[in-house]
A and B are shown apart, each in its own frame.
Chain A
Amino acid sequence: MSRIGRALLLLLASCTSPPTKPTPVWREVCQSYQAEIPTGWSILQEEETLFTLGRDRVEVTLRLSPPEIKDRPQKVVLNWSQGLNGAIPGAIALSHEAHNGFAGLSLFVDNGQSGLLGWAMELDPSFGQEPKGYTVRAFGPLSEVEEHRLEIEKFARSIELVNEL
């Protein structure tokens, strides 16, 4: 067999099957919502308006806002950042987010030991539907929150109503 033939054979023999992506697990949460559950996380609590995931020492809680209370995202994230004792003001990162028809604020705050990732979202009023909203709060040791940050963000951005707007 020629050198080129052997090289081709080696190339073909060394190719394995294409890398398979883990199939995302979509799950109904809090009745009328659904979300993509990150792999390796376990469900700690599941109620009508509450859904909690956990991994290592990080807990992620999705909580539906009561319809009669207008939870302004600004107020929610302010409470969170104040609630984290000893938070360094410079370590607070606040930004606007919009996904799946909801708009609000996201926040990352840490005090050196603990980290908090949060989202406070409200249904965009332009849809003309009754007010809906939810909050997502991920809390744990700073190093673990940072390690799982991308998974938590992906989970938070995937939360949506089962039915289309």
Chain B
Amino acid sequence: MIRFLCSVRFALVLLASALGLVIAATWIEAVTGSHEAASKWVYRSPWFLAVLVGAFINILGSALKRWPFQKRHIPFLTAHLGLLMVISGQFVKLAFGVQGELLLAEGAGSHTLLLDHHYRLAIEDQQGRVDLISMKKGRGESTLFPIELVEKEAPPLEVDEAKWISLAQRVERELPISMGGSWLTYLKGWGGVQGGLFPIERPLSDDLVAALNQSRWELLPEPLQATALWSARMIADREEAQTGPLLCISIASQVEQMGERLPLDLDLSSATAETKALLLSALLYARGFHPQSWAEEPGVNPSEGLRFFECNGERVALSHHGKATLLGGAYSMRLQWNEQEIPHHLRLHDLRTVCYPGSSSPYGYEGRFSIDGERIELAMNRVYESQKGYRFYLAQVTPVEEQRAQRAVLIVNRDPAKRGLTYPGAGLVALGSFLFYRQRFKRR
């Protein structure tokens, strides 16, 4: 057995396994569009860990087989020591590394990370009672409410669906008018149109009509109701001129500036479902939302971090920062992330969307931050690493338009083994390989 573990044959088995796993991870990432899915299924799976442990044993064994060591073994031993250091670095990173997200709004600061893969589910009923559910082996049960949850894997080839769900959750947070779970149907119905208001030429589905009839417009402040009404009228006046989404956003946001002075000459709560559908689209423009432009937005992949659950048989999708309604709106659910403080305080000053020259299509984001008082700039491909080894990546900016204070999601990680094990290990592998070829060259 020990002879096999130290053999070239075992090394080949490990190499083939590693190759197979990396191919699988690449395929998963390509199909789902999610690095998180690849990481969960492959890089953090027991199989990948087993390959790493196997490689460590194999390399250590094959080096020790050369005992007693001689001068000619130096290149071989150097390269193998390097490999052992690189693999050990991975173990140290898995055990003691830090990875999480830092959420910041312009003008605000924080030093608290939301830790990836460490969460509980907060279920809240309409009376405000909250139950925190820890998922064990992908299952969880509420002690307060009749709710059973099962975590589901992200369905493949549903990136677009994930985008819609994530957008519906954002809209639900922005406009609390109790549309139940029908935002998704509404946004999909509207999203196929290039600009303009919600199309009401075709009959609305029964579900959507019911949701629109039950929507509670009186929950919105009157200036916002007036904004919806007058924006819809102004956009409708321009319909024949093929009003694009950006112009609609511009019209509606300018109307919103005057919302307090505009007369509210229609009782929106008692309007027909079709009228409400039109008014909602105008209101969403005022808030900078437009599903078409959002779905085409590059650099943002909302399926990252989107989690799928089954609640009493009903499928629910939940984004990192989102809230989902359960069982016909009787309960709401959100992810309650575990937090960790880092020894750096970050403040976000300004975010900007960088567009292709001569166009309004964004290709990236950049932001001005300060870390412990020192001013720094981050961009999609400009990473900052602190003296204490924390790396900060600018991952996401919302909203893209500068209509209100923007928010950034920073990915923060720390690999404690990088400088002590991984980088020197890689150096030793390179040195060992060089010495090995030099030795062979000399022999000839």
Residues of A within 8 A of B (CB): 24, 72-75, 95-103, 124, 126-127, 157-158, 160-161, 164-165
Contacts and interface: CB of A to CB of B under 8 A. Distances in A.
Contacts of B254: 74
B403 A99 contact: no
Interface stretch (B40-48, B102-110, B436-444): B102-110
Contacts of A72: 257-258
Interface string B394-426: 000000011111100000000000000000000
B105 A96 contact: no
Given A72-B257, A96-B253, A101-B105, A164 B347 contact: yes
B350 interface: yes
A125 to B, nearest CB: 8
B349 interface: yes
A100 B109 CA distance: 11
Contacts of A102: 107, 405
Given A95-B402, A124-B107, 8 more contacts: A96-B253, A97-B402, A98-B405, A99-B106, A101-B108, A103-B403, A158-B350, A160-B107
Contacts of A73: 257
A90 B384 CA distance: 43
25 contacts: A72-B258, A74-B254, A74-B258, A75-B257, A96-B401, A96-B402, A96-B403, A98-B402, A98-B403, A98-B406, A99-B349, A99-B351, A100-B349, A100-B350, A101-B106, A124-B405, A126-B105, A126-B404, A127-B105, A127-B108, A127-B405, A158-B350, A160-B349, A165-B107, A165-B108
A71 to B, nearest CB: 11
Interface of B: 105-109, 253-254, 257-258, 347, 349-351, 375, 401-406
Nearest to B403: A96
Contacts, number: 66
A5 B253 CA distance: 66
Nearest to B404: A103
A103 B257 contact: no
A101 B347 CA distance: 11
Contacts of A103: 402-405
Contacts of A98: 106, 351, 402-406
A150 to B, nearest CB: 14
A100 B401 contact: no
Contact of B109 (A75, A127, A164): A164
A161 B401 CA distance: 22
B107 A101 contact: yes
Contacts of B351: 98-99
B57 to A, nearest CB: 48
A39 B350 CA distance: 21
A103 B405 CA distance: 6
Which one of A97, A98, A161, A165 has the highest number of Cβ atoms from chain B below 10 Å of its Cβ? A98
Contacts of B257: 72-75
A160 to B, nearest CB: 6
A96 B288 CA distance: 11
A8 to B, nearest CB: 24
B381 to A, nearest CB: 21
B403 A100 contact: no
A73 B254 CA distance: 10
A161 B109 CA distance: 12
Contacts of A95: 402
Contacts of A24: 375
